[in-house]
Amino acid sequence: MTILQVAALAAVAVGGGAVVLSPDPLRQVIVLGIFGLALTMLFFVFQDPDVALSEIVVSTVGLPVMVLLALRKVKEHERQREEQKPGKQT
């Protein structure tokens, strides 16, 4: 095993833990993107450029777009519900 491979494995281990431990979903998405980049490096140094190519696009663009838009929709819902609550009481 080369030093690069050990470094990539360590980065994935640290990144995976960081994703789980991030408290705020919004920040979690960003950390997830960085974790995806670490995974891409892992696949690349273990000589699998095909999977690395898929991983880099899916993890840095594909997944974050969906999660971010879903978060925006959820926040909008919460705001609407809070606006409606006082109206019903009066």
For position 13 contacting another protein by CB under 8 A, the verdict is: no
Smallest distance, another protein to C-beta of residue 51, A: 8
In this chain, which of 26, 72, 78, 79 binds another protein, going by CB under 8 A? Answer: 72
DSSP 24: S
50 binds another protein (CB under 8 A): yes
Helix (H, G, I), strand (E, B) or coil at 35: helix
Spatial distance between the Cα atoms of 72 and 84, rounded to a whole number of angstroms: 19
- The residue (of 24 and 50) whose beta carbon lies closer to another protein is 50
The nearest distance, CB 37 to another protein, in angstroms, is 15
